Amino acid sequence: MKRRQFVSVSLAAAGIAALAGCSTDDGIGGGNGGEDGESFPSYDIPAYSDWVPQDSRNEDNSGVFFTHLDWAALDETDDAPEDEDERTDDEETEELVEQVPILGLPFYGALISPFAIFGILFYPFSGDVLPEEGQTAEGIETETMTWVEDVLVFNGTYDPDVFAEQYADDFEEAETRDGFTVYVGTSGFAEDMAYAVSEDTLVVGMMPGEDDEYETEAIVGEALDRNLEEVDRAVDSDDGQWLFETTGDSKMGFGVLGTDDFSEALDTDDEVESDEHDEEPETDPEVDDNPVFDTVESLVNTLDFSVEDDEMGAMDVRFSGVYPDEESAPSEDEVREHLIGEEDVDHDIVIDGVRVHASATFEETPTDE
């Protein structure tokens, strides 16, 4: 699942290439002004935000959780050499989240995202949607993956005829909606499965565990409602729109919306645990004593990078957070120290009431000497 490829390369990255994904106006847009007259940046709202719900179905107050990965961009980088004597990717990512969260959180999302595939392991196309070693499957070419709670959304090129011919055994065609064909499992392992496919999108419901009460057909239908009918989307609220437009599209994205305890929301063991595979990530970042996350209600953290000579270049990271009141929002000094970590990193911070935005450019990944 290319886990070591993108994490190892990323954590060893150093470069001076120009950044991709520039703001519509050099990072300064028409958003709300900060304390010193600065404005929040304004980017095009990413397409994957259409799949992110306003409210979570879960009752643990952990909020809506999502990650986003641009697989096509990651495939442009070479494999990094593996050294068994070095620390694991899990340890490096955990340390990065704790020491430089604005950079570490997108990497954390990238680390755990491939393990969500365990949730669709028994779907007939699970081994083809993200093929190993650059191999391709007929009718499938995945470019991006968005994990939104219990749904995986793949964007790229998908041949509906191939899905009907090769992946429809034990499924029935339940309905068609605006270019999507919805398949629902009818027997065998497929009985708890449902997915929807169009020419450029594959929406797959993760199989429920013993403690899950949802039905995959229902969550696939809800996901299509959000995208096609534009209902129940986080981006339709004022705060949701601000979060996505100030962080923009990216090659890596991580977000938690509407949480009462971000530290608890960061713990995704239940979501990625697999009884059949002892490969879940062994990382448990601690952010309890970080004033940026003590009271944060919603945040989106994105990372962009360029690729030059098959290497990852400089990393452009953006963080936007919403807090319950002005008193609980971190100060500029706290954001600089506890989110960015190093003063000599090129960065910008804008704070206006309950909204906090920070951006930074890292020419290399901070490491302890």
Tens of pLDDT, residue by residue over 71-111, are 888 776 654 434 444 445 778 888 888 899 999 999 999 98
Give the residue-averaged pLDDT of 256-280.
70
Percent of the chain with pLDDT over 90: 58
pLDDT surpasses 70 at 221: yes
Confidence of residue 42 (pLDDT cuts 50, 70, 90): very high
Mean pLDDT, the chain, whole residue set: 82
- Confidence (pLDDT) at 43: 97
pLDDT digits (tens, 9 = 90+) for 131-179: 666 678 999 999 999 999 899 999 999 999 999 999 999 999 999 999 9
| Cα radius of gyration rounded to whole Å, the chain | 20
- Of 24-38, 185-199, 234-248, 287-301, the one with minimum mean pLDDT is 24-38
What is this structure's pTM? 0.85
Give the residue-averaged pLDDT of 354-365.
91
CB 199 within 8 Å of CB 160: yes
- Confidence (pLDDT) at 39: 92
Percent of the chain with pLDDT over 70: 78
HEC string for 228-269: HHCCCEHHHCHHHHHHHHCCCCCCEEEEEECCCCHHHHCCCH
Does 115 or 273 have the greater pLDDT score? 115
Does 276 or 63 have the greater pLDDT score? 63
- Confidence (pLDDT) at 19: 24
pLDDT surpasses 90 at 219: yes
- Confidence (pLDDT) at 6: 39
Query: In whole angstroms, what separates CA 305 from the centre of its chain?
Result: 15
DSSP 205: E
- Of 159-163, 230-234, 282-286, the one with minimum mean pLDDT is 282-286
- Confidence (pLDDT) at 18: 24
Q: Measured between alpha carbons, how far is 74 from 21 in angstroms, rounded to an integer?
A: 15
Question: 3-state SS of the chain: helix, strand, coil percent to 5?
Answer: 30, 25, 45
Q: Measured between alpha carbons, how far is 98 from 180 in angstroms, rounded to an integer?
A: 41
- Confidence (pLDDT) at 87: 45
- Confidence (pLDDT) at 264: 85
Buried b (16+ CB within 10 A) or exposed e, 256-295: bbbbebbbebbebeebbeeeeeeebbebebebeebbbbbb
